[in-house]
C-alpha cells in the first residue's frame, strides 16, 4: 500500500487511483524564458523518481508535464533580446531537455505547450463566463470571479476575507474585486496575440494549466504536482476555475516538492546565490547532483552548499566502489530479497528516498563483506540487487569505471593518466620505488587517486 501526503488534506492517505492499475499525473513544468535553475531540478528529479517508482510497483503511468511558452516574463525577455518570443522559447526548451537528460530525468509521456491549446483555453473561458464564474471587462481582459467559488482557499487554507484585506487593484486593471485573476489578457500594441470573442489577446497563466491538464488527463485525475511556490495562487486558482468549468473534482492528490535554500538562505538572484543546473554541473558530475537531490525526502527543504555537494559525491562514490570490478548477476536470476522489501517499505511511505538510499548502502556493505569472505557469487547477486534498486531512483546505472574517470577536469587526459600508471608499473618492476611513489604523488596532486589490487591498478577522481 502506497501512502502519499496530500497537500489538500494535509495528511498521508492511501493512494487509490481512479482507474485501478493506472495513474494520471500532471506536473507544472517550466516557464521557458531562461535556463533551468536548481529549484527546477528539484521538481524535475522528485517527480521523475515518483514516476519511476510507481512504474516499478506495476502501475501504468501517464505523466504529463507542461511547458508555459507564453507569458509576461517570456515577452519581456524576448523584447530585451530583440528576438521573436518563439525563438527564445525554442532555445530554452532545447536547453531544458539537455539539462534533464544529463540529470537522468526521463521524458514525460506528454509535454503540452500552452500556445498549442489556445482554442481549448478559449472554450474553457466561455464556459466560465456562461456559468457566471467569469466576466469580460471593458478593457478586453477576462477575469475569474473568486467570490463565485465557495471553496476558494481549500488547498492553501487561505481565507478570502484575509486576502481581500489591504489588497489593491492596479489602476490599469478592471477587476470587480482585488482577488479576481485574469483568464484572458488583452494584447498591448505590438504584442503577440490570438483572436478571441473578447478581442485579440493571450491567456492568463493559471487557465493554461487547467486547459492542458483536463484535455490530456480528463476532468478529474489522480495526482497534480509542482514546486512549493505554486501552491498559492497558481494551484489554488487552477482548482477554482477547473471545478467551476467542469462541475467535477479537479484532482484527488496534490503533491508539492520542498524548497531549495543556498547556505541556509532562500535562493534569490538579488542575494547573488542563484544557480542554474548547468552552472552546477560544470563543477559536479550530473549523477552527484541527482544523488544530492534524491537523498532528501521530496517534501523536505534542501540546503545547497559546496560542502553538501561534496558529501553527496563521497557517498555516491562509496556505492560505486562496491560495484567496481564486479559483474552483477543477471537480474532474472536474482529474486526479490529482504532488501527489496525494505526499499519498498521506505518508498511506499510517501516516497521516502532517504530511507531507500539507506537500503542501497546496506546492500553495498553486503557486497563488500561477501568479497572479503571470498563469496564472489553472493557478491554478484547482491550487486544485481544494488543496480536494480538504484535504477528505481535513477542512480548507479553507469559502468563504475566511467563514473570514476568522467570529467577529470584537470590538465591530464585519460590517456595521460594511463601512461603515468604504466610508467609507475615499470618503475615498480625495476624496483625503483622512489620513482613509483613520485608518480603516485604527482597524480594525487592533480586529483587522481590510484587503487592497487591483484588485478592491477585502477584510478578515480579525488
Q: Are residues 370 and 449 in the same domain?
A: no
CA distance 396 to 346: 19
Q: What range defines the domain where residue 353 resides?
A: 261-404
Q: Are residues 400 and 421 in the same domain?
A: no
pLDDT, position 169: 59
Q: Give the H/E segment covering residue 81.
A: helix 72-81
- Please indicate, yes or no, whether the overall pTM of this predicted structure exceeds 0.75: yes
Of 210, 225, 257, the one marking the end of a domain is 257
Give the pLDDT mean for 436-447.
Answer: 85
Q: Are residues 177 and 228 in the same domain?
A: yes
Span 117-166, pLDDT tens digits: 999 999 999 999 999 999 999 999 999 999 999 999 999 999 988 888 76
Please check the confidence at residue 264 and state whether its pLDDT lies above 60. Answer: yes
Which of the four pLDDT bands, split at 50, 70 and 90, describes residue 457? confident
Q: Are residues 236 and 329 in the same domain?
A: no
CATH number of the structural domain spanning residue 226: 3.40.50.620
Q: Are residues 27 and 175 in the same domain?
A: yes
Q: 135 by DSSP, 3-state: which?
A: strand
Query: Residue positions in the annotated binding site for ATP?
Result: 269
Of 230, 257, 284, the one marking the end of a domain is 257
Q: Are residues 331 and 313 in the same domain?
A: yes
Q: Are residues 390 and 411 in the same domain?
A: no
CA distance 381 to 436: 37
Contact of 27 with 374, CB cutoff 8 Å: no
Q: Are residues 150 and 132 in the same domain?
A: yes
Of 193, 224, 257, the one marking the end of a domain is 257
Q: Are residues 362 and 447 in the same domain?
A: no
- What percentage of the chain carries pLDDT values higher than 90? 79
CA distance 251 to 154: 12
Q: Are residues 321 and 431 in the same domain?
A: no
Q: Are residues 59 and 176 in the same domain?
A: yes
Please, which residues have CB within 8 angstroms of residue 262's CB and are 6 or more apart in sequence? 38, 271, 273, 274, 275, 303, 304, 305
Which of the four pLDDT bands, split at 50, 70 and 90, describes residue 11? very high
Contact of 298 with 258, CB cutoff 8 Å: yes
Please, which residues have CB within 8 angstroms of residue 244's CB and are 6 or more apart in sequence? 128, 131, 133, 144, 148, 149
Q: Are residues 357 and 296 in the same domain?
A: yes
Query: Residue positions in the annotated binding site for Zn(2+)?
Result: 28, 209, 234, 238
Please check the confidence at residue 170 and state whether its pLDDT lies above 70. Answer: no
CA distance 187 to 77: 17
pLDDT, position 409: 55
Q: What's the total number of domains in the chain?
A: 3
Span 194-216, pLDDT tens digits: 999 999 999 999 999 999 999 99
Query: Residue positions in the annotated binding site?
Result: 28, 209, 234, 238, 269
Residue with cell 518508498: 347
CATH number of the structural domain spanning residue 399: 1.20.120.640
Residue 179: φ, ψ to 5°: -80, -15
Which of the four pLDDT bands, split at 50, 70 and 90, describes residue 266? confident
Amino acid at each position: 500500500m502506497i501512502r502519499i501526503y496530500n497537500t489538500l488534506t494535509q495528511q498521508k492517505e492511501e493512494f487509490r487511483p481512479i482507474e485501478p492499475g493506472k495513474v494520471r499525473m500532471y506536473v507544472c513544468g517550466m516557464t521557458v524564458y531562461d535556463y533551468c535553475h536548481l529549484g527546477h531540478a528539484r521538481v524535475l528529479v522528485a517527480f521523475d523518481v515518483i514516476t519511476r517508482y510507481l512504474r516499478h510497483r506495476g502501475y501504468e503511468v501517464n505523466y504529463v508535464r507542461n511547458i508555459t511558452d507564453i507569458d509576461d516574463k517570456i515577452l519581456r525577455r524576448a523584447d530585451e533580446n530583440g528576438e521573436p518570443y518563439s525563438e527564445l522559447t525554442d532555445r530554452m526548451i532545447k536547453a531544458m531537455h539537455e539539462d534533464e537528460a544529463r540529470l537522468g530525468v526521463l521524458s514525460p509521456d506528454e509535454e503540452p505547450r500552452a500556445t498549442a491549446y489556445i482554442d481549448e483555453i478559449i472554450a474553457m473561458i466561455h464556459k466560465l463566463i456562461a456559468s457566471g464564474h467569469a466576466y469580460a471587462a471593458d478593457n478586453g481582459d477576462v477575469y475569474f470571479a473568486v467570490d463565485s467559488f465557495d471553496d476558494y482557499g481549500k488547498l492553501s487554507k487561505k481565507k478570502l476575507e484575509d486576502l481581500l484585506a489591504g489588497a489593491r487593484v492596479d489602476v490599469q486593471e478592471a477587476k470587480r474585486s482585488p482577488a479576481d485573476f485574469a483568464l484572458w489578457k488583452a494584447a498591448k500594441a505590438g504584442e503577440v496575440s490570438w483572436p478571441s470573442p473578447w478581442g485579440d489577446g493571450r491567456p492568463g497563466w493559471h487557465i493554461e494549466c487547467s486547459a492542458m491538464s483536463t484535455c490530456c488527463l480528463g476532468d478529474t485525475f489522480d495526482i497534480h504536482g509542482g514546486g512549493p511556490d505554486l501552491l498559492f495562487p497558481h494551484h489554488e486558482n487552477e482548482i477554482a476555475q477547473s471545478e467551476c468549468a467542469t462541475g467535477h473534482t479537479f484532482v484527488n492528490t496534490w503533491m508539492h516538492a520542498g524548497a531549495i535554500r543556498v547556505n541556509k538562505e532562500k535562493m534569490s538572484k538579488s542575494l547573488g546565490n542563484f544557480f542554474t543546473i548547468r552552472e552546477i554541473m560544470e563543477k559536479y558530475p550530473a549523477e552527484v547532483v541527482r544523488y544530492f537531490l534524491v537523498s532528501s525526502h521530496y517534501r523536505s527543504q534542501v540546503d545547497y552548499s559546496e560542502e553538501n555537494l561534496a558529501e553527496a559525491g563521497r557517498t555516491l562514490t562509496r556505492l560505486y566502489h562496491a560495484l567496481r570490478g564486479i559483474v552483477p548477476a543477471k537480474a532474472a536470476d536474482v529474486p526479490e530479497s529482504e532488501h527489496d522489501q525494505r526499499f519498498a517499505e521506505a518508498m511506499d511511505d510517501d516516497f521516502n528516498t532517504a530511507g531507500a538510499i539507506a537500503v542501497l548502502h546496506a546492500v553495498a556493505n553486503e557486497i563488500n563483506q561477501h568479497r572479503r569472505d571470498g563469496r564472489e557469487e553472493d557478491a554478484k547477486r547482491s550487486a544485481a540487487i544494488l543496480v536494480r534498486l538504484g535504477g528505481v531512483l535513477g542512480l548507479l546505472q553507469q559502468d563504475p569505471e566511467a563514473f570514476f574517470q568522467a570529467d577529470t577536469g584537470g590538465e591530464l587526459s585519460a590517456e595521460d593518466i594511463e601512461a603515468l600508471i604504466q610508467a609507475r608499473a615499470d618503475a615498480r618492476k625495476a624496483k625503483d620505488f622512489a620513482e613509483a611513489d613520485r608518480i603516485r604523488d604527482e597524480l594525487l596532486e592533480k586529483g587522481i587517486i590510484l587503487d592497487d589490487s591483484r588485478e592491477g591498478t585502477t584510478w578515480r577522481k579525488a
